[in-house]
Chain A
Amino acid sequence: MLETRKKELTKIAYELRKAAVTAVYSAASGHPGGSLSIAEILTYLYFEEMNIDPKDPAKADRDRFVLSKGHASPAIYAALALRGYFPVDDLKTFRQVDSVLQGHPDMKHIPGIDMTTGSLGLGISAACGMALGAKKNGIGNRVWAIIGDGESEEGQVWEAAMFAAHYKLDNLCVFADFNGLQIDGPVAEVMNPAPLGDKFRAFGWNVIEIDAHDLDAIEAAVALAKATKGKPTAVIATSTKGKGVSYMENNVSWHGSAPKQEQYEQAIAELDAAIAAI
C-alpha cells in the first residue's frame, strides 16, 4: 500500500474511532471496546475494497457486509456515516427512541446495513446464505463478515463454518476480531476459543492470521482471500480491545459501558493526537 494511501486510511480509522466513541457517549450506552478494535478492518473494507454505493445502498451487485458481532454497531454506523450513507451528526442519536440507529444493526431502517444482527452466531450464517445466493446469481460479488472471538463460543459459528466449507463459498471472507476479552473476562478464562485458526483450518477454511491494526496486513489478507478458490477464508485478526483510547485498551470493563464527559474528552483528545501524528 502506498504510504500516502496508508496515511489517509489510518486517519479514517481514527476518525471512525472518534465517531464511534461519540455515538456511545451521546447514548450514554453501547459497546466501545469491540468497536475500537475493528476500526482498521472496517476502514479497509468500506473505503478501499467493497463494491458499494452510498447513493444506492441496495444495488443488487454490491458486495455485502455482515457485522456478526452486532454489538460493535457504533463502529459500523461510524463507517457508514463517514462513507456518506447518512449524516455523521446522526450518530449522536444512537440508541435514542426516535432514531433509526438501534442498539444493534437493523437492516430494515438503516441505509447500508445488509443484515440485522445482535444475537451472536447468527450473522455468520446469514453471510453464508448471502455468499451462496451470490454464487447462484453469478454476478461475482463478495461477502465480508466480522465475528468476535467470544462469539466463536456459539455453536452456530461452527455450523456455519461447516456449511461454508461444504458449499465451497470462496466468495466469503470472515474476519475474527481476536481481542481476547469478553464480558466476563479474558476469553482464555471464560471459555477458551483458541486456537481459532486451527479450528477454522480443521473445518476446511483458508486461514490467515494477522494484526488487526495493520492496514498492509489487512490488504494482503483480502488479496489472498480473493485469490483463494474452492474454500472460504477466515482472517484471525489479533486486536487490542479499546484500541486508541488509553484507558479503554485491554480493559474488559469497557466492553459495554459509556464514557463520562471527562473520559469522553480525554478519548477525543487522544484520538485527535493520534490523527495529528500521522
Chain B
Amino acid sequence: MAEKIATREAYGNALAEFGEKYEKLVVLDADLAAATKTGTFKKKFPDRFFDCGIAEGNMMVVAAGLSTTGFIPFASSFAMFAAGRAFEQVRNAIGYPHLNVKIGATHAGISVGEDGATHQCLEDFATMRSIPGMVVMQPADAVEARAMVEAAINYVGPCYMRFGRYAVPTLFDKDTYKFELGKGIVLADGKDVTLVATGLMVEQALIARETLAAEGISARVVNIHTIKPLDEELILSCAAETGAIVTAEEHNIIGGLGAAVCECVCANKPVPVLRVGTNDTFGRSGKVPPLMELYGLTANDIAAKAKAAIALK
C-alpha cells in the first residue's frame, strides 16, 4: 500500500488545488485552520479565506449569506462543532433554504484519539442525514477526498463532508479513480455476505475479507462514500445477491451508515444486517489503534459480525 495520509490533509490540499480552477470558491474556518488543513488554502488565497474565530454558529450562517452572493463557501471546523454545536444554524440557514454551502468537517470519529470524548464526534451522520436535502459524504482515502471536494464544488446545494485526523493508507489510484456522488463502489466481489463500509473502515473491511476468505467465506466489499443519498440500488442488489450485510463506520450505530442501510433493506429486501460502529457510547482518550480495538472498530470485529450475519440467514 502507498503512503499514509489523513483525509483532512487531502481536504486542505484539494481546496488549495481547486481554488485555482474555481474562482468563486471561498473558505471559512473557526480558528482551526492549522488542524482542519484549510490553512493550506489560506496560504495560497489569503483574500478568499475568512477566519471567523471561535464562533461556529456565526460561521455557518455567514457562509449561507455568502452563498447567496454567488460564492461557493466551504465552512470548516471539527465535526463535533460543525454538525453538533452548529446543527441548528446548518438546519435553518443552510438546509431549509437549500443553500450552496459545503461543510468540511474534520476530526470525526474515535480516531481523533488523545483529545477524547468531547472532540470525538460519533453523531454527525445522524444529525446531518436528518436534514432534508443535505448530501452527506465521507472519503476512505486521500484520493477519494480530493475527488469528493471537486464533486461538492460542482454540485449545487448543501453538502456535509466528513474527514479524519488519522493518517490512513491510500487505497485508490489517482489516475483511474472516478467519484460519482450518490454511488457506492464495489471494491471486491463475494457471494456469502456484503461488507458495506465508509471512511477508514473501508480498509478494515478489505482486511476482514481476507480473514474470511481464509475460512472459506466469500465477502463482497462495498465502499459507501455518500451516506446520503444512499445508493439504494446497490445496497439492495447486495442484499439480494449475498443475503447478509455487515456495515462498518466510525460512528454510533444509531443514525449512521448502518442505520441508513437497515432502513433501506428493511423496507425493500429484508436480510440480516449487523452493524459495526460505536455501540451507543461516548469515546475516550488514547492512541488510535487501541481505541479502535476498545470500541470494536477493527477488521476482526467486522469478520466476526460477518459470520454472525451469515448464521442469521
Contact = CB atoms under 8 A, between A and B. Distances in A.
A116 B93 contact: yes
A53 to B, nearest CB: 17
Contacts of A133: 65-66, 68-71
A173 to B, nearest CB: 15
Interface string A106-145: 1110000011101101100111111111101100000000
B57 interface: yes
Would you list the 4 A-B pairs with minimal beta carbon distance, nearest first?
A: A129-B65, A133-B69, A125-B61, A159-B58
Nearest to B98: A108
Q: Say whether chain A's binding surface is mostly helix, strand, loop, or mixed.
A: helix
Contacts of A134: 69
B55 A159 contact: yes
Contacts of B73: 129
Given A115-B93, A116-B93, A133-B71, 12 more contacts: A106-B97, A119-B88, A125-B57, A127-B65, A128-B65, A129-B63, A130-B66, A132-B62, A159-B52, A159-B58, A162-B53, A167-B50
Interface string A155-173: 1100110110011000000
A60 interface: yes
B50 A132 contact: yes
A129 B62 CA distance: 4
21 contacts: A64-B68, A108-B98, A116-B93, A118-B92, A122-B92, A125-B58, A126-B93, A128-B58, A129-B62, A130-B66, A132-B62, A133-B66, A136-B71, A137-B70, A156-B57, A159-B53, A159-B57, A160-B58, A160-B61, A162-B53, A162-B55
Contacts, number: 103
Contacts of B48: 136
Contacts of B50: 132, 167
A118 B71 CA distance: 24
Interface residues of A, number: 33
B64 A129 contact: yes
A131 B71 CA distance: 12
Contacts of A114: 68
B155 interface: no
A125 B30 CA distance: 14
B96 interface: yes
A156 B58 CA distance: 6
A208 B60 CA distance: 28
Given A129-B61, A156-B57, A137 B98 contact: no
A66 B93 CA distance: 12
Contacts of B66: 129-130, 132-133
Nearest to B92: A119
A216 B51 CA distance: 38
B226 interface: no
Nearest to A167: B50
A194 to B, nearest CB: 23
Given A114-B68, A159-B58, A125 B93 contact: yes
Contacts of A121: 57
B19 to A, nearest CB: 14
Contacts of A106: 97
